[in-house]
A = this chain, B = another copy of it.
Amino acid sequence: MKVSGHHRITIKDVAAAAGVGVATVSRVLSGGSASPETRERVLAAAARLDYRPSALGRNLRQRRTGGIALLVPDITDTFYGRLTEGVLSCARSAGEPVMIGATGDDPELEAELIGTFLEQSVDRVIAVPCGDADTWTPALRAGLTVVFAHRRPPGRDDVPAVLSDDRLGVRTAVEYLAGLGHRRIAYLGGPGQGPRLRAFRDTLAALGITLDDELVVSARAARDSAYAAASGLFQHRPDLTAVLAGGNVLGEAAVLAARELDLRLPRDVSIVMFDDVPWAELCSPPLTVIAQPAQDIGYRAAELVMRESARRTRDTVLPTELLVRGSCGPRR
């Protein structure tokens, strides 16, 4: 067999080898109509030459890149790692390549990355968004199919989202804590947690507990910011008896800060954390958590974005589950 130096095999080569026109090769390879005999010849030639159609040519012709783009705040956070795994596994079964970007929960960076995607003519994106509704206008106007995962910018109801049931998750956790006798319950949140916060307030109200604004703090995405917020909370309000952490990074910070201040779990303070992670069981005491189906969120979002129907779909809300382990106890 003759192997030429560094010449990429194109559809022309296959056409020549099979003694047909390029159009026929294209048709056969994309399942169009052709006589069985011709099809046979083309397939044989393609196989013999080890032909791989160039996505470049196809994409340019069709004015779109296949594949899907994924935007997450922080790939270092295992929650987003699992979400990403879900997207990848769905994309893989469809043979679609995945482009990834980390926004660091910075709207400007997000906008920039969207720009990169536009430049690449990506036409499908899954995003855990951090910018406001307007950030997404250019992408939408350019005709992108977008699906939000995990959260959505307020006011962008024209884009479908795959979410976990934050409302019920928060409510379950707070009711559990209240059932243990806690009244001064803090919420330690991160960026873009409007819905959870609202659920927190609403649940408190429903239970007849007055909201204490000082017990609601919000950190930026980074680990040190989370630690600072948690530590500040404990020091500023030593009277609190329970905290609900809005994510695994925040939960980790809370445990660390509590330990640093010699607060014992669950004697001095009870902690419930959003997101079940492997180390929650290794912690001592093991952490009580609200499990979220991170991987499923990613998988569903990918399914959705690959369907043509994506543009007009209702949100998908996935259930959460309270896993009671050892980090909560009765009010001291």
- Kindly state the separation between the CA atoms of A158 and B141 in the bound complex, as whole angstroms: 47
A44-88 vs B, CB cutoff 8 Å, 1 = contact: the mask equals 000000001111110110010101000000111110011011001
A113 to B95, CA, bound (A): 9
**In the bound complex, CA of A259 to CA of B285 (Å):** 13
Is A101 in the interface zone, CB < 8 Å from B? Answer: yes
Please measure, in the bound complex, the distance between the C-alpha atom of A56 and the C-alpha atom of B97, giving whole angstroms. Answer: 15
B279 close to A256 (CB less than 8 A): no
A76 to B82, CA, bound (A): 5
**Is B78 a contact of A95 with CB atoms below 8 Å?**
no
Interface size class of A (residues with CB under 8 A): 35 or more
Q: How many copies does the complex hold?
A: 2
Q: Which of A27-35, A115-123, A193-201, A208-216 lies at the binding interface?
A: A115-123
- Asked if A102 is at the interface (CB within 8 A of a chain B CB), the reply is yes
* B52 contacts A56, C-beta separation under 8 Å: no
Partner of A278, one of B52, B60, B65, B223: B223
A263 at the binding interface (Cβ < 8 Å)? no
A255 neighbours in B (Cβ, 8 Å): 282
Q: Is the beta-carbon distance between A76 and B85 smaller than 8 angstroms?
A: yes
Please give the distance in Å from A325's CB to the nearest CB on chain B: 13
- For A133-149 the 0/1 string (1 means CB < 8 A from B) is 00000000011000000
Q: How far is the CB of A79 from chain B (nearest CB, A)?
A: 10
- When C-beta atoms are compared, the residue in chain B nearest to A62 turns out to be B56
A283 touches B281 (CB 8 A): no
Please state if B97 and A99 are interface contacts (CB–CB under 8 Å): yes
CA distance in complex: A52, B85 (Å)? 31
In the bound assembly, the distance between CA atoms of A82 and B78 in angstroms comes to: 10
> Whose C-beta in chain B lies nearest to the C-beta of A287?
B282
Bound together, the chains give a CA A93 to CA B88 distance in angstroms of 24
Contact B52 A63, beta carbon cutoff 8 Å? no
B81 touching A75 by the CB < 8 A rule? yes
Q: Do B279 and A283 touch across chains, with their CB atoms under 8 A apart?
A: yes
User: CA of A109 to CA of B92 in the docked complex: distance in angstroms?
Assistant: 10
Q: Binary interface profile of A, 265-288, with partner B (CB < 8 Å = 1, else 0)?
A: 000000000000111011110000
In the complex, 5 of the A-B residue pairs with CB atoms within 8 angstroms, ordered by the A residue number, are A8-B142, A56-B121, A76-B81, A88-B101, A89-B102
